[in-house]
Structure formats: structure tokens, C-alpha cells
Amino acid sequence: MILLQSGFVDVLKPKKGVFSYYELFLVQYSLITVTAIMSQGSFDSENFENINEEDFDKNIDELIKSISLGAVKKRQIYPLLCFSMGVDPGETVQETEERVFATDFFTENAKKYSLSNREMILRGLNLSAFLNYFFLLEDSLKKIYIDLIKPTNKFIKGSEVIDVCLREIISMSDVYDCFEKELHKRSKVIPNIKSLSALWGILNLIRNQITHANGFYDKTAKKSFYRRSEDFLKQLRENSDCVLSISEISNSFLRYENQINSDGFLIIDDEIENIIRNISVFVMESLYVCNLLKKNKS
């Protein structure tokens, strides 16, 4: 199921002078992707010989403990370092307070979601990659829109990136039908702009909750997630014949809804990261192909 897959890191090779925005996109995309794969791979026991997952988890736990132990030692040695340089450190207010380490909150949060510390680190890396891919596609489409359409109002909400920016781009470029066909061919499941907009609505909501609500979903956000998910799945069922893919996507979103309703938070996992990464590639490749075909006809 291409939309949810993580193993595909190849992209369509661009031709010089066809659609420069695609080349600019690939520069940032490659930086995000390789960094994410390397960092996440560092916490996967399958990438290391002679170590099982249980031992790997223990090693990670010890490393996390060493962070707080190291911080204690630095606080203890700080006054000595100051005196050695002839500087009076004065009173350090933190020394008189009851303080707690960030690592303590981290491990408590991992236990809350029944995750090992290693798995919690991976979810954090998933979250970082999700935001990076989201902002990359958002910024790419906004730049194309502003350069091509030259709107008087250049303030564009994240929620408007598909319905305003992308629609105007493919309409002005006269590649609307071409884009929808290419998008469907590449994604195997997203048939048109309307369904893409519905999916973007979900991704934008996730982004908003992360950046504006610290990842928390109140009653309004929970209802919004459910409504947007149902709208997206309805679009797929009415316009796509890929039953297996729709079933897998439906199961994933049902799992996310249950997590939000149960915990009030959504843990960003591999599948959510895969969706935004693959969507960004599908959109930009489709724009590139349509511009290439248009150039070849002229």
C-alpha cells in the first residue's frame, strides 16, 4: 500500500530547466529523508548484529539515565570551573530549588503510552520528520503560488494550501486534469483534488494540535479529527476502486481515533510520517510531470 509504505525513498529524476520548483523541493526532501532514516535507524535493533531488542532497550535506558547523572556532575563542577577562571559564580538559585530532570518526564510519558524509552524516542523522531515534511510541502506550494499567481494577499493559511494554492497553480498552468490523473497513478488511491484536500485537512489538524496545543486533543479537536477522517474515507470509497488500500487506511485512522479518544493525544508513528512524506512526493512529482508534458507539446 504505497501511501503507508516507508521503504520507498526514490524520486523521479528531474530534467534541467523543466520545473525548477521540483529540484528545489528535492534538495530539502533529501536532507529531511536521509536524516530521518539515519537517526531512526540508530534506534532499530535490527540494524545491529549480536544484540536483541530487550538488551537494546536496556542500553537506551542506561544512556537516558546517564543524561541526568551527567547534568548533576556538571552542576557540581560549575562553581569550581568558575573559581578556576577567577570568576565568582555567586548564588545559583537552582541549587536551592527542588528540581526534576527532563528525562524523568520522558520516561514517565513513555510508560503512560506503554512504550519503551527507545520506542518513545522513535515516536519523537517521527514527529520531527512529520513536521519537516509538512512544512516542506506547504512552503513549496506557497512559493509556486505566489510566484505564479502573484496574489495581492500573500498570507496563506496552512489549511488553504491545497484548496487555494494547488488548485490555482494547476488551473493557471492548465494542467488540472493532467495533475489529477498523475496523482491517482502515483498514489494508487487518491483520485482527485477533493480527496487530497480532505487528507490535507487531517494532516493540517495534526500539525495544528502539535504546534498550538502541545499535541493535546480537546472535545472540539476530537470531533474535528473524526469528521475529517470520515470525510476523507468517504471520498476514497466513492472515487477509488482500490478496496484493500482503503481498508488499510481506514484501519489506521480508526486506531488513531481510538488513541485520541482514550489518551487525548496522538502519538506520531511510522504510518503518519509515511503519509505526509509520500503525499509530498506524489504532489510535487505530479506537478513536475504535467509541466514536462506541457513543455514537450509546445
Q: Please report, for the chain, the start and end positions of each structural domain, with discontinuous segments joined by +.
A: 130-297
Quote the percentage of the chain above a pLDDT of 70: 96
Q: Which helix (H) or strand (E) holds 216?
A: none
Q: Which residue has the higher pLDDT, 266 or 9?
A: 266
Q: Rounded to an integer, what distance in angstroms lies between the CA atom of residue 137 and that of residue 207?
A: 13
pLDDT score of 240 more than 80: no
Q: Rounded to an integer, what distance in angstroms lies between the CA atom of residue 214 and that of residue 232?
A: 25
In this prediction, residue 3 has a pLDDT band, given cuts at 50, 70 and 90, of: low
**Residue 156, φ and ψ in degrees, nearest 5:** -125, 125
The confidence score (pLDDT) of residue 7 equals: 62
Residue type, 86: G
Q: Which three cell numbers stand for residue 148?
A: 505564479
For residue 86, the 8-state DSSP code is T
The confidence score (pLDDT) of residue 245 equals: 77
**Residue 265, φ and ψ in degrees, nearest 5:** -135, 155
Mean pLDDT of the chain: 91
Question: Whose CA is closest to 129, among 27, 36, 223?
Answer: 36
- pLDDT tens for 141-199 read 999 999 999 998 888 999 999 999 999 999 999 999 999 999 999 998 899 999 999 99
Residue type, 104: D
- pLDDT tens for 83-97 read 899 888 888 788 788
Q: What is the pTM of this model?
A: 0.91
Q: Rounded to an integer, what distance in angstroms lies between the CA atom of residue 118 and that of residue 275?
A: 23
Question: Whose CA is closest to 130, among 207, 30, 29, 67?
Answer: 207
The confidence score (pLDDT) of residue 4 equals: 55
Rg of the chain (C-alpha set): 23
The confidence score (pLDDT) of residue 262 equals: 93
Q: Rounded to an integer, what distance in angstroms lies between the CA atom of residue 138 and that of residue 166?
A: 10
Q: Rounded to an integer, what distance in angstroms lies between the CA atom of residue 285 and that of residue 15?
A: 12
- Beta-carbon neighbour count of residue 67 at 10 Å? 12
The confidence score (pLDDT) of residue 1 equals: 45
Question: Whose CA is closest to 250, among 4, 78, 44?
Answer: 4
